[in-house]
Structure 1
Amino acid sequence: MDRIRLTDQLDLSRIVYGMWRLGDDENTEPEYVRAKISSCLDQGITTMDQADIYGGYMAEEILGNALTPALRNKIEIVTKCGIVAPAGRYANARVKHYDTGHAHILASVDHSLRLMKTDRIDLLLIHRPDPFMDPHETGAALDEVVATGKVRAVGVSNFRPWDWTLLQSAMKTPLSTNQIELSLMMHDAFTNGDIAFLQERGIPPMAWSPLGGGTLFASSRAELRRALEKFGAARGIDAAAVAVAWLLAHPARILPVLGTNNLDRIARISDAAKFTMDRETWFEIYTHALGNEVA
């Protein structure tokens, strides 16, 4: 499995295992969670993607219960903060909102460290753009958690270019990634400036929901599905792996975040890396995703 360097101190596996559904599984016992992580490690997938809000603010604790010191040292943990929903430890919140204030970020980091039973977060992301954000306060908090060693690198999620530049303008620490929704079903980032903005700065994007949340295989997308199946059959991989390979082929160095609780599907996550896609194949698949040829 290839690796992508985010900073001088941190590189991630090219494909990331997403844990947003970890708390939805019927079995959340530590042994079963360790089996999922071990299957990822067998494929060279070492990066685990979390967020404080996942599983109603329970997913980080589920992961922490499964981690041993030896296992922790084999993985990189990505987590996010900034969303306050009336659930879990924020059950008394009057309304769902964003909090990118200094105190909230520091408290969130400490919560995450405690729940995941670790002394460091490898990558911390601000989960959503906050329309009430004070960039100087948010930036100071992110700089602080890096300076104290609690966090190795920081980034954002779902930010537009102007959100990125506003926050970065108030920080000493470089932002290292933007995790955005990106798939054959949600491909506007390739043309609306989001990917170009990151490429210009040499920033590798992370892609959440790279299979479109399952809509990629809906009956309305039959032609796209058949194209993916055709390319997959020729290489002994399934259509989902081809869809992820389409993202991997792009020169932006995209890191897809793939989440499933099924051990058989986890064992096949790295199949996407088996398909080296050329330009015409990329555009053939893109044409099916658009529903028409490019202009």
Structure 2
Amino acid sequence: MTPNFSRPIGRMVLGFWRLLEWQMSPQQCVAFIEHGIEQGIIDTDHADIYGQYDCEAAFGAALKVAPGLREQIRIITKCGIRPALAKKGLAGKANHYDSSKAHIIASAQQSLQHFGTDHLDVLLIHRPDYLMNVDEMAEAFNTLKQNGDVLQFGVSNFTPSQFAMLKSRLDFPLVTNQIEFSPYEMKALDDGTLDQCQQLRVHPMLWSPLAGGRLFSAQDEKALRLRTTLEQVGNEIGAASLDQVVFAWLAMHPSEPSIVLGTGNAERVSAAVASAQLKLEREQWYRIWQASTGHSVP
């Protein structure tokens, strides 16, 4: 798989939400990133709050060990969620969202320091803020872009109307909407989110593509139906694992999504990349859809 710099975000993304849980040394993290590059994956997904604000810095420590690595990857990070934590001056009585201009700029600058870099490739607003003022958000984006701090912008978990509202205030495109989507969680197929992505030729980023592991461990009826069908389809197309079937199913959507991988296991990354060679027929795609919904198409 050759790295694709023509897309703002590639078809596969390394997700670093659990970086601290993986207990990697900076050298081990470098090796993992380099393995991804060898597999054609240059995009890395982060957020300011991951690891209680420590995951970005841990990733930055790896980049410090191998300074040339920064030029070979793209850094995508998110901001806008403020937990009720006293840590790092974020004292508060309730978890809340903050999409104010001041917070967006301050968070981006903090991320730059954590990563030890002079720019972020993509900055996303992590969750829609009920109090968001899109004019103020646009001002923050424009300031960061003009200063060279952030190259491109997007959102995460936005509804189509929220995406359109923010887009209407910008002179440049939003490059993605990072959404939850998997055979277990398919709301984006019907709520207009993926339709909008196709309309605007925006490639969505898919988080929790394996439903947080529920596809392999949950015992509810939907999960059991899905496992049975994924195994059947996997046998038909020659897949080595159920997750390969899932990735092939996701990749078939015409919005050409970017799939965020949540694993720190290099072999599973390689297997995910290899899923690009698997092709599903429409009937197989809909058979998996049917296993999820529990009913046939009308």
Alignment TM-score, normalising by the size of structure 2:
0.92
1:283 aligns with 2:276: no
Shift of 1:70: 1.1
Shift of 1:2: 6.6
Q: Partner of 1:73: helix, strand, or coil?
A: helix
| Counterpart residue number, 2:208 | 209
Query: Could you tell me whether the CA contact under 8 Å between 1:49 and 1:78 is conserved in 2?
Result: yes
Q: 1 CA distance for matches of 2:2 and 2:284?
A: 21
Deviations 1:108-139 (A, max 9, x none): 11100110011111110000000011111111
| Counterpart residue number, 1:151 | 150
For 1:1-295, list aligned pairs within 5 A. Answer: 1=1, 11-25=8-22, 27-67=23-63, 68-87=66-85, 88-217=87-216, 218-220=218-220, 221-233=223-235, 234-295=237-298
Shift of 1:141: 0.4
Deviations 1:33-92 (A, max 9, x none): 112212211211111000001111111001000013211111111000011113342442
Q: 1 CA distance for matches of 2:170 and 2:35?
A: 38
Shift of 1:3: 6.5
- Look up the equivalent residue of 1:71 and give its one-letter code: L
Aligned length: 291
Shift of 1:143: 1.7
Query: Could you tell me whether the CA contact under 8 Å between 2:4 and 2:40 is conserved in 1?
Result: no
Q: 2 CA distance for matches of 1:4 and 1:227?
A: 32
Q: 2 CA distance for matches of 1:216 and 1:4?
A: 29
Shift of 1:29: 1.4
- Look up the equivalent residue of 1:77 and give its one-letter code: I
Shift of 1:261: 2.3
Q: 2 CA distance for matches of 1:294 and 1:264?
A: 36
Q: 2 CA distance for matches of 1:126 and 1:236?
A: 36
- Look up the equivalent residue of 2:273 and give its one-letter code: S
Query: Could you tell me whether the CA contact under 8 Å between 2:15 and 2:260 is conserved in 1?
Result: yes
Q: 2 CA distance for matches of 1:95 and 1:223?
A: 39
Query: Could you tell me whether the CA contact under 8 Å between 1:20 and 1:50 is conserved in 2?
Result: yes
The percentage of aligned residue pairs carrying the same residue is 39
Q: Partner of 1:13: helix, strand, or coil?
A: coil
Query: Could you tell me whether the CA contact under 8 Å between 2:239 and 2:278 is conserved in 1?
Result: no
Deviations 1:5-26 (A, max 9, x none): 7xx7x6332111111111222x
- Look up the equivalent residue of 2:278 and give its one-letter code: F
Shift of 1:28: 3.2
Q: 2 CA distance for matches of 1:41 and 1:133?
A: 36
Unaligned runs of 5+ in 2: none
Unaligned runs of 5+ in 1: none
Query: Could you tell me whether the CA contact under 8 Å between 2:248 and 2:279 is conserved in 1?
Result: yes
Q: 2 CA distance for matches of 1:208 and 1:106?
A: 25
Q: 1 CA distance for matches of 2:116 and 2:273?
A: 28
Shift of 1:226: 2.2
Aligned-CA RMSD value: 1.7
Q: Partner of 2:8: helix, strand, or coil?
A: strand
Q: 1 CA distance for matches of 2:62 and 2:179?
A: 28
Query: Could you tell me whether the CA contact under 8 Å between 1:2 and 1:13 is conserved in 2?
Result: no
Residue 2 and residue 42 in structure 1: after superposition, are their counterparts in 2 closer, same or farther (change >3 A)?
closer
